[in-house]
Structures are given as C-alpha cells and as structure tokens.
Amino acid sequence: MNLLKNINIEGKRVLIRVDYNVPVSEGKVVNNFRITQAIPTIEYCLSQNCSIVLMSHLGRPKGIANPEYSLKPVQLEMETLLGREVLFSDDCTSHKSIITSNKLNPGEIHLLENLRFHKGETGNNDKFSAQLAQHGDVYINDAFGTAHRAHASNVGVVNHFTTCSSGLLLEKERKYLSAAIESPNHPFVVVLGGSKVSGKIELISHLMSFADTFIIGGAMAYTFLKVQGKNVGASLVDEENITIAENILNEAKLKNIKIILPLDSVVSKEICENDDWRISNFDDMTDMELGVDIGPESAALFHDIIAQSETILWNGPMGVFESPSFSTGTHSVASSISDRTHSGTITIVGGGDSATAVESFNLMSGFSHVSTGGGASLELLSGKYLPAFKALDEHV
C-alpha cells in the first residue's frame, strides 16, 4: 500500500474517500469525530498545493436520493472546522459536479453528495467507479469506517487511477489495529464489553495468540459467569453461545491466558434511569434483577490489572453507559486506561460504543488511538484482510 507522504501529489486534483457517516439532527452535525479525524489528510494535501474532492456516504438511503441523508450539513460543519469555503454538488456523478471538480483551483475543496444515493456504490459497479474517478488525478482512501466493505468508492475506483494511496487516518488505523496488536509490548491486556459473545468470537480467537489477559465486562460477561455456575439473575445471557464461551475459557486455561470476570454488579429490575438499583455480588442477585454495570469491586480489580499493562486494547462498554446511573464502570475503565497512556502504555480503543463512551467522558486525548471504525475495527482486530486494504495493496 502506498503511503500518502511517499507519492507526488504536488498541484494535483486529489479525490479522497472520507467517512463522514456522522449523526445529523435538524440539519446539523451532532458529533463531528469522524470529520475531525480526516482533517490531517486534507491539510496535508492543501500544503501540497492540491485541489481536493471529497466523497462519502451517510446512512443507508438504499440507492435513492433522500434529503434526510444529505451531506449538506457536513459541508457547513467542514466550513466551520476548516475556516474556508467548501463547494458542494448535489449529485456525486452528475456532469455538473464533474465540471466543478475539473475547474477547481489549488486550495479549493469540493464535497460530493451522498454516494449511496446511487445503487452503484454498494454494488461496486464499475461504471459508477469510472464516473467517480473523473473527479480526480490521484485517489486517496481515508475512510477506515468502510474499509470492510467492497464498494465502488473504496475498491472499484482504485482500478481507474494510476496513482493511489492510503490517507493519514487509514494509515494510522492500520498501524494501531494491526501492527501494534500483533507485536505488542507485554503484558498485553484486552478489555472487552458489550452485549453478545457472538460478536466477539473471532476477535477473542485471533487475540488469544497475542494477549496475556482478557478482562471481560458488560453484558457479555454474564454468559461466561453462567458457564462458571454463577447466579446472574435475569441478566442478558447469550444462550446460543454458551458452549463457545465454555470453549474460550478452556482454551485460555490451556494457553495460560488469564480471563478476568466481574466480582460484583450494579443491578436493577429494569434498564431504566428512574428505576431503583443496587450493588450486588452474584450470590445475592434475585431472579428479577439484571446486571447493568460492573460494581466497585470489579472496577478496582480491573484497574489493578490495567495499571500493570504495557499494551491495552479496549472494545465494548462495561454497562449501559448511555444512562448516567449505569455509566460509572465504563467511566472507571476509561479513566484507568487513560492513566496508563500517560505512563507510556500503548492504549487503543476499538471504535464503536467504546469510542462513543470515551467522547462522552471527554477523554478522547487520553488514548494512543481511538478508532473511527465500528465493524471495520472489529474485523481488522479479528485478523481479517479488509477489502479496501487489499485493493490498495494490490494496486500497481
């Protein structure tokens, strides 16, 4: 894969695939994390006297032009962030939009309307890819959030360019989520949360070859606790994967890998902000109560293990962090990991809900890397070769 700073883009018209799939409400961007993470690539291209054409998707309009999924609010957000005008075309492959791109002067930026207003995007249609390619002289992929999808704008379009490269964000994502994980400083601790075991099976299996310890919290912990014969009350249990959870525990024992589970839980009869809750160990949980967060003993145990680590990967919250009453455990883990960053430990947040939690706690700067990808980060961390990486790697 070519790296951006190793290719000559001086004065070129650069087509960049970015991931601006961000939440929008009432015509305004409500979370600009993915937008800000792509800015270094844009600024580097501007420093090389380039003109820039940006393309992205937003939501799932299923091949139909739907104003609800327009990137127009993103244009306004970008103008605020960059402090300069951003041109906008309301169709990504119209004759008018291509003319606009061809007439750009160095330093000008042009944002195209939602790629997924065309079925050719998700269908990886070659004709659609060729139309997109008319917007630039050089292609750069900086959209890690879609790297696990073989779409026209990140796979098919590569075939229509002589010069292609990864952007600075895509390069950083690969560095941390692949290289750092597979050649970690030890002890290497993996912190996992979220709901179902099924979504993390391949991840755990792959990381068993590299990690020293797994800390498992969140709803998925109750499946493992049930395997151990613990009383988990009415907590969410991934019944379909009980056997797999048991196999994971047995494999870890054979490989001398530690799996650390919660000692106590915050429990409630409902996942409701106004419902009564209490802290309970597993012997005392009633059949009507379910775990909604890790308890203080668990948080203290997890902190002690994290405090001795040299590489940390975190994927998945410790509880229903969206509710302030049930966010303490996730906040505690985030703070413990952030503390290690300041001590020189490599700390990686694997995107998705974990990244959302980190941002809600104002701890974004407290980690070595916070991934912009949800599904993409999970697949890369599971050892899969992502289609967008393969397309760039094989481009000649």
Residue 211 near residue 188, CB atoms below 8 Å = yes
What is the β-pairing status of strands 87-89 and 109-112?
Answer: parallel
State the Cα–Cα distance between residues 215 and 194, nearest whole angstrom: 12
Active site residue 375: yes
Active site residue 295: no
Active site residue 34: yes
Residue 220 near residue 273, CB atoms below 8 Å = no
Write the CB contacts of 130 (distance below 8 Å, at least 6 apart in sequence): 160
Residue 172 near residue 373, CB atoms below 8 Å = no
Helices and strands of the chain, counted as H and E runs: 16, 17
Residue 11: which region, alpha, beta or left (left: phi > 0; alpha: psi -120 to 50)?
A: left
Residue 143 near residue 17, CB atoms below 8 Å = yes
CA distances from 294 to 242, 273, 323, 379, 384 (A): 21, 16, 14, 26, 31
Residue 291 near residue 222, CB atoms below 8 Å = yes
Point out the catalytic residue in the list 59, 63, 375, 383: 375
Active site residue 149: no
**CA dihedral over 126, 21, 375, 33, signed as positive or negative:** positive
State CA 104 to chain mean position distance.
32
Maximal C-alpha separation, the chain: 71
Point out the catalytic residue in the list 352, 366, 373, 374: 352
Point out the catalytic residue in the list 12, 34, 116, 340: 34
Residue 330 near residue 318, CB atoms below 8 Å = yes
Write the CB contacts of 135 (distance below 8 Å, at least 6 apart in sequence): 13, 15, 53, 55, 97, 98, 101, 110, 112
CB atoms within 10 A of CB 342: 9
Point out the catalytic residue in the list 59, 63, 196, 384: 196
Phi, psi values for residue 365, rounded to 5°: -80, 0
Tell me the catalytic residues: 34, 196, 352, 375
